[in-house]
Amino acid sequence: MYPGLRLGFLVVPSGLVQPFVTAKHYADARSSFLEQAVLAEFIEGGHNARHVRRACAQRQKALVDALRAHLPGRREVQPTDAGIHPVCRLPDDVDERELVERCRRSDLQVQPLSRYGTPPLARRGILLGYAAHAPEDLQAAVRRLARLV
């Protein structure tokens, strides 16, 4: 979960709990019981979910604000309250596949919306991820995206 703690967690079907417990027993050097108990209480109390939602909300706002600032009139972004990849609709004169390829060559990772739908889609677009990026990194990435669009 946090590298310094050397803890993680999995959500698995009930029928697989015991095989995973057994695998963990043989595969690691034993995590501290106290740290495991505190992490379990943190998750069960909803604190981790609140932290993730708050962090994601700040990052999504940074992404949307950057899109509005650097791509005015060239994008239609749909923020989401569920998930970490808002859809950015593209104007008709922007070729989705060509833009995704230019982004790939420029080391920007975006996903084509067409990958997740059945053709023909009414509008083209890209999925933009933000959860693993600091707000300032999102600003810089959107500036690079604006140059590519």
Per residue of the chain (149 residues), give pLDDT as tens: 666 777 877 889 999 999 999 998 888 767 788 888 888 899 899 998 888 888 888 898 899 899 888 887 766 777 777 678 888 888 888 888 999 999 999 999 999 988 888 877 777 889 898 888 899 999 999 999 999 88
Burial 60-72 (b: 16+ CB within 10 A, else e): bebbbebbeebbe
Matching CATH number, 50-148, of 3.30.70.3400, 2.60.40.10, 3.40.50.620, 3.90.1150.10: 3.90.1150.10
pLDDT given for residue 2 in this prediction: 63
Structural domain boundaries of the chain?
50-148
pLDDT given for residue 19 in this prediction: 95
Q: What is the DSSP letter of 76?
A: E
pLDDT given for residue 41 in this prediction: 92
pLDDT given for residue 82 in this prediction: 67
- For 4-17, the DSSP string reads TTT-------GGGH
pLDDT given for residue 78 in this prediction: 72
Instruction: Determine the residue type at 8.
Output: G
Q: For helices 33-44 and 47-70, give the axis angle rounded to 10 degrees.
A: 60
Neighbour-count burial of 99, counting CB atoms closer than 10 A to its CB (0-12 exposed, 13-18 middle, 19+ buried): buried
Strand order, beta sheet including 76-78: 76-78, 87-89, 125-127, 111-112
pLDDT given for residue 139 in this prediction: 92
pLDDT given for residue 13 in this prediction: 94
Please name the residue ranges forming H helices in the chain.
Answer: 17-27, 33-44, 47-70, 96-105, 135-148
Handedness of CA 95, 97, 101, 106 (dihedral sign): positive
- Yes or no: say if 90 and 96 are a contact pair by the CB < 8 Å rule: yes
